[in-house]
């Protein structure tokens, strides 16, 4: 395509016949006839072969011979063809598939071929969602709660969320103004970014970070600015590192705590440092708090919005996917200043309409009372599983891992094996039938790591650790 947006076409003609090739664009696409019919190059080759036998010479030369007419350069309006169809948007070329979902899909495919793959890739716990919550959602379904809700969510749900935030997170928020239902944190993240960033605006993220951040920021037109978090500093920024990343285009810091993949739980000091940078440069902070209930060794998750002056610039994202093992429900919530919620509700009206009606009912029930013993017991056991994985990994020569402070991943350093993350994960999947996520897609600093989900069954964990040992 040239500067004026036209497509350069090489063409030759003879009488009514015209044959054309999109120059420098798609080698398999050609136009034949009065430029209306578009053939795949293969079809054109066949056509030419019928007339000329072998088709080894340069395409343009052959066309010229074929039509006994000179090649000429034309201008065509419209877009180039790609693989025989009109082109896809540029943004898909900048959006890799999710590494965790991709590996989990490969593992599922292998399992469907009766290969006993142990899948430690996606952050999905072994447990199903709790029965009492399932029953609340089923009851809602069976009693006609099957229609769209307000885009912001049902009042009952928003009310329960407000009470939970007050009770557990020390946040006092108006459910009608400052909270909305989302279809999980990912949906909340997209809505928040759509509300605050425009083309070219920069969002600072931790490197490594959750694999969907960069893709979502890109889809919303923004630019991701990854700022390394170093192991020596227990995977957290220093003030100088964060401050140095801010430019005139920075609009937002996107923070995850407890952090995926490193397991860091940010302390009051970390949050105050981030708050100071955000306030100095007038930035939004999006806090992905999906793992807020699962912190270990009596650590507590602290919401950035509780720090002085931060409620008015913090967008919090929470959900049920991890803590209640309700990933398939696609339910969560966002809390934020009223202006953000109003903007996000408009986007939600157009994108998803609303979160599911009966999923909101089930989730409201989950928050309506103190957590039941089976949920608390599940969390206690998750802590043991996380501890065991970290301890056992640290016994394997060549591997090391800081015990997660929260969340449920082991971020395993593989540098001493001499292998990079993709090669390591691929080899483990192929030879040991164990699915781990390579660290590279989490950020440039992740290539010496693989991520292992620790909340699988004890039997799977023991077998998986044995296979990792064998694979080295
Ligand atoms: C950090 C982080 N945020 C968000 C999500 C997705 O959350 P949800 O299922 O609520 O969209 C995940 C896991 O998939 C995650 O690890």
User: DSSP code of 274?
Assistant: H
Ligand 1 atom closest to Cα of residue 187: 11
Is 103 within the bounds of a domain?
yes
Using the predicted structure, report yes or no on whether residue 366 has a pLDDT greater than 80. yes
User: What does the pLDDT look like over 151-164, one tens digit per residue?
Assistant: 999 999 999 999 99
| pLDDT-based confidence at residue 59 (cuts at 50, 70, 90) | low
At 107 the pLDDT is 80
| pLDDT-based confidence at residue 57 (cuts at 50, 70, 90) | very low
User: What does the pLDDT look like over 273-299, one tens digit per residue?
Assistant: 999 999 999 999 999 999 999 999 999
> CB neighbours (10 Å) of residue 326?
25
- The verdict on 317 and 247 lying in the same domain is yes
- The verdict on 312 and 341 lying in the same domain is yes
- The verdict on 165 and 116 lying in the same domain is no
Ligand 1 atom 15, closest CA: 210
Using the predicted structure, report yes or no on whether residue 46 has a pLDDT greater than 60. no
Is 149 within the bounds of a domain?
yes
* Alpha-carbon gap, residue 72 to 8, rounded angstroms: 10
At 410 the pLDDT is 98
Q: Which of 98, 184, 262, 290 to mutate to test the pocket of ligand 1 (most atoms within 8 A of CB)?
A: 290
- The verdict on 60 and 117 lying in the same domain is no
Q: How many Å lie between the centroid of ligand 1 and the Cα of residue 289?
A: 9
pTM for the model stands at: 0.84
Residue 341: which CATH number?
3.40.640.10
Using the predicted structure, report yes or no on whether residue 78 has a pLDDT greater than 80. no
Residues near 134 by Cβ (< 8 Å), separated by ≥ 6? Answer: 128, 362
User: What does the pLDDT look like over 166-206, one tens digit per residue?
Assistant: 999 999 999 999 999 999 999 999 999 999 999 999 999 99
- The verdict on 275 and 249 lying in the same domain is yes
* Alpha-carbon gap, residue 213 to 157, rounded angstroms: 27
| 65-69, 240-244, 330-334, 369-373: least confidently modelled range | 65-69
Chosen domain end from 348, 367, 386? 367
User: DSSP code of 334?
Assistant: E
Q: Which of 210, 318, 333 to mutate to test the pocket of ligand 1 (most atoms within 8 A of CB)?
A: 210
User: DSSP code of 439?
Assistant: S
* Alpha-carbon gap, residue 428 to 377, rounded angstroms: 32
At 286 the pLDDT is 98
- The verdict on 165 and 299 lying in the same domain is yes
Higher pLDDT, 461 or 61: 461
- The verdict on 350 and 377 lying in the same domain is no
Looking at residues 317-331, what average pLDDT do you find? Answer: 97
Is 5 within the bounds of a domain?
no
Q: How many Å lie between the centroid of ligand 1 and the Cα of residue 188?
A: 10
Higher pLDDT, 47 or 143: 143
Count of structural domains within the chain:
3
| C-alpha dist (Å) from residue 309 to 245, 302, 304, 420 | 22, 15, 10, 43
Is 7 within the bounds of a domain?
no
Residue 104: which CATH number?
3.90.1150.10
- The verdict on 201 and 343 lying in the same domain is yes
| pLDDT-based confidence at residue 2 (cuts at 50, 70, 90) | very low
- The verdict on 20 and 44 lying in the same domain is yes
DSSP string, 208-261: S--THHHHHHHHTT-EEEEEE-BGGGTSB--HHHHHHH--TTEEEEEEESSPTT
At 25 the pLDDT is 40
Domain span at 110: 99-123+373-470
Is 3 within the bounds of a domain?
no
At 149 the pLDDT is 98
User: What does the pLDDT look like over 242-262, one tens digit per residue?
Assistant: 999 999 999 999 999 999 999
């Amino acid at each position: 395509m040239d500067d004026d947006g036209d497509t350069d076409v090489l063409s030759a003609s003879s009488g009514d016949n015209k044959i054309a090739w999109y120059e420098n664009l798609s080698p398999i696409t050609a136009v034949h006839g009065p430029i209306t019919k578009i053939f795949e190059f293969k079809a054109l080759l066949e056509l030419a072969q019928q007339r000329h036998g072998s088709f080894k010479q340069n395409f343009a030369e052959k066309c010229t011979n074929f039509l006994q007419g000179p090649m000429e350069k034309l201008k065509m309006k419209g877009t180039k063809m790609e693989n025989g169809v009109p082109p896809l948007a540029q943004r898909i070329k900048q959006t890799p598939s999710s590494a965790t979902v991709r590996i989990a899909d490969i593992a599922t495919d292998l399992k469907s071929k009766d290969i006993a793959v142990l899948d430690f890739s996606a952050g999905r716990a072994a447990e199903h969602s709790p029965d009492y919550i399932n029953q609340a959602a089923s009851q809602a379904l069976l009693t006609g709660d099957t229609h769209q809700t307000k885009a912001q969510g049902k009042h009952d749900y928003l009310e329960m969320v407000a009470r939970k935030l007050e009770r557990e997170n020390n946040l006092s928020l108006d459910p009608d103004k400052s909270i909305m239902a989302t279809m999980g944190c990912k949906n909340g993240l997209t809505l928040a970014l759509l509300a605050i960033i425009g083309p070219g605006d920069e969002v600072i993220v931790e490197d490594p970070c959750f694999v969907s951040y960069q893709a979502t920021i890109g889809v919303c037109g923004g630019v991701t600015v990854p700022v390394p978090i170093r192991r020596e500093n227990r995977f957290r920024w220093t003030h100088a590192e964060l401050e140095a990343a801010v430019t005139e285009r920075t609009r937002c810091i996107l923070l995850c705590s407890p952090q995926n993949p490193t397991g860091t739980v940010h302390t009051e000091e970390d949050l105050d440092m981030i708050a100071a940078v955000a306030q100095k440069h007038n930035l939004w902070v999006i806090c992905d708090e999906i793992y807020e209930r699962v912190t270990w060794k009596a650590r507590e998750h602290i919401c950035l919005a509780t720090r002085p002056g931060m409620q008015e610039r913090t967008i919090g994202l929470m959900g049920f996917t991890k803590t209640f093992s309700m990933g398939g429900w696609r339910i969560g919530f966002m809390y934020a200043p009223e202006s953000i919620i109003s903007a996000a509700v408009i986007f939600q009206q157009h994108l998803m309409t609303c979160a599911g009606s009966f999923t909101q009912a089930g989730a409201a029930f989950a928050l309506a009372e103190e957590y039941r013993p089976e949920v608390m017991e599940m969390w206690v056991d998750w802590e043991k599983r996380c501890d065991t994985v970290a301890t056992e990994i640290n016994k394997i020569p060549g591997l090391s891992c800081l015990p997660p402070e929260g969340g449920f991943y082991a971020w395993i350093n593989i540098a001493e094996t001499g292998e990079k993350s993709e090669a390591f994960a691929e080899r483990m999947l192929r030879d040991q039938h164990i699915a781990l996520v390579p660290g590279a897609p989490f950020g440039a600093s992740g290539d010496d790591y693989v991520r292992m989900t620790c909340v699988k069954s004890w039997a799977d964990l023991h077998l998986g650790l044995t296979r990792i040992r064998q694979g080295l």
